[in-house]
């Protein structure tokens, strides 16, 4: 069963007066569990709107969106918040970590908004595990300003993982990182995808970053214009091995 089922999805914004912006014009796509999907397209193509709807941050104007088989396209704000908490992990371009808050506490944050109470020792354990999964053991008590950009993004990835989400939504996760750090971050996504079978949706406008995915869909003018398996997929771990070690 696909983890994401999208049928005839449209989104129309009313901007001042009678001007309508049709950001999505009938999108239909399935994403299977365990896929690493790259979503590309120029700005204004509708990929951000698509990602907001997939991330349950926004609701479609028409069409349906089923996550794990449940239609979530007509849920209320609070219900969407609950879905985001349980099933979706977000990774943003700007990391969005809380300043002057330790890595551990940043990672624990989604557990605080869960509908079930989690004891503080349980929270610490889960957060430590998530940090270990992104290779940040020993940095639990560092604050964001004591971490490099790549490390901050890894904390953000750990935060997105802590609730065992169905999908991981990464919105331009390498946009603020240098090329080597970008490869490191993509390595983490590929390993989580391969080793733990986590479904990853990667939104990017950079074609070379999209090549780390197993499948790429391209947006233009609110529609999917291309949907391809990546034949020549890039492998971050191999590229890292070939690079000279960090000085």
Partner 1 sequence: MGLLMTLRIALKALFRNKMRSSLTMLGMIIGVAAVIAMVALGNGAQSTIENQIRSAGTNLIYVMAGNFMAGGVRTGSGAANTLLVDDAMAIRDQVPGIQYLAIGVTTRSQVITGNQNWNTRVNGTDIELPLIRSWPVQFGTFFTPQDVSSAAKVAVLGSTVRDMLYGEGADPTGQTVRVRNQPFKVIGVMSSKGQGTGGEDQDDAIYVPYTTVQKKLLGITHINNITISAVTANGVASVAEGVTALLRTRHKIYQGDADDFMVRTLEEMAAMRTEATQTMGALLASIAGVSLIVGGIGIMNIMLVSVTERTKEIGLRMSIGARGRDVLMQFLVEALVLSLIGGLIGIGLGIGVSTALTRFLGWPTTISPDAVALAFGFSALTGVFFGFYPARKAARLDPIEALRYE
How many Å apart are CA 160 and CA 242, to the nearest integer? 29
Counting residues that bind partner 1 (by CB under 8 A) gives: 27
**Interaction between residue 194 and partner 1 (CB under 8 A):** no
**Interaction between residue 75 and partner 1 (CB under 8 A):** no
Of residues 150 through 179, those in contact with partner 1 by CB under 8 A are 159, 163
The residue assigned the tokens 């088989």 is 69
**Interaction between residue 109 and partner 1 (CB under 8 A):** yes
**Interaction between residue 81 and partner 1 (CB under 8 A):** yes
Q: Which of 26, 34, 44, 114 binds partner 1 (CB under 8 A)?
A: 114
> Looking at the DSSP assignment, which residues form a beta bridge with residue 90?
169
**Interaction between residue 146 and partner 1 (CB under 8 A):** no
At its nearest, how many Å lie between partner 1 and the CB of residue 86?
A: 7
Q: Which of 28, 62, 101, 146 binds partner 1 (CB under 8 A)?
A: 101
How many Å apart are CA 72 and CA 146, to the nearest integer? 39
- CB neighbour burial string for 31-64, b if at least 16 within 10 angstroms, e if fewer: beeebbbbbbbeeebbbbbbbbbbbbebbbeebe
Interface mask toward partner 1 for 39-58; x: CB under 8 A: -------------x--x-xx
**Interaction between residue 144 and partner 1 (CB under 8 A):** no
**Interaction between residue 68 and partner 1 (CB under 8 A):** no
> Looking at the DSSP assignment, which residues form a beta bridge with residue 167?
88, 199
At its nearest, how many Å lie between partner 1 and the CB of residue 214?
A: 25
At its nearest, how many Å lie between partner 1 and the CB of residue 103?
A: 15
Residue whose CB is less far from partner 1, 27 or 236:
27
How many Å apart are CA 142 and CA 3, to the nearest integer? 35
How many Å apart are CA 178 and CA 199, to the nearest integer? 25
Q: Which of 20, 70, 98, 179 binds partner 1 (CB under 8 A)?
A: 98
Q: Which of 92, 124, 205, 223 binds partner 1 (CB under 8 A)?
A: 92
The site for partner 1 (CB under 8 A) is made up of 52, 55, 57-58, 77-78, 81-82, 84-86, 90, 92, 94, 96, 98-101, 109-110, 112-114, 117, 159, 163
């Amino acid at each position: 069963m696909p983890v994401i089922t999208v049928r005839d999805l449209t989104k129309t914004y009313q901007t001042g007066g009678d001007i309508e912006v049709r950001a999505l014009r009938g999108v239909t796509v399935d994403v299977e569990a365990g896929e690493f999907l790259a979503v590309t397209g120029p700005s204004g193509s509708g990929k951000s709107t698509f990602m907001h709807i997939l991330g349950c941050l926004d609701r479609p104007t028409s069409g349906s969106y089923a996550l794990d088989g449940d239609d979530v396209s007509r849920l209320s704000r609070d219900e969407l918040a609950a879905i985001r908490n349980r099933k979706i992990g977000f990774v943003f371009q700007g990391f969005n970590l809380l300043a002057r808050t330790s890595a551990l506490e940043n990672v624990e944050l989604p557990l605080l908004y869960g509908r079930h109470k989690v004891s503080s020792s349980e929270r610490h354990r889960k957060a430590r595990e998530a940090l270990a999964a992104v290779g940040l053991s020993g940095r639990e008590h560092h604050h964001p300003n004591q971490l490099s950009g790549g490390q901050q993004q890894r904390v953000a990835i750990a935060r997105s993982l802590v609730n065992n989400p169905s999908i991981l939504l990464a919105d331009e996760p390498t946009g603020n990182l240098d090329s080597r750090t970008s490869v490191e971050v993509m390595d983490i996504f590929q390993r989580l995808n391969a080793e733990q079978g986590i479904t990853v949706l990667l939104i990017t406008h950079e074609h070379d970053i999209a090549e780390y995915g197993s499948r790429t869909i391209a947006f233009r003018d609110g529609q999917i214009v291309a949907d391809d398996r990546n034949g020549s997929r890039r492998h971050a771990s191999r590229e890292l091995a070939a690079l000279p070690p960090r000085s």
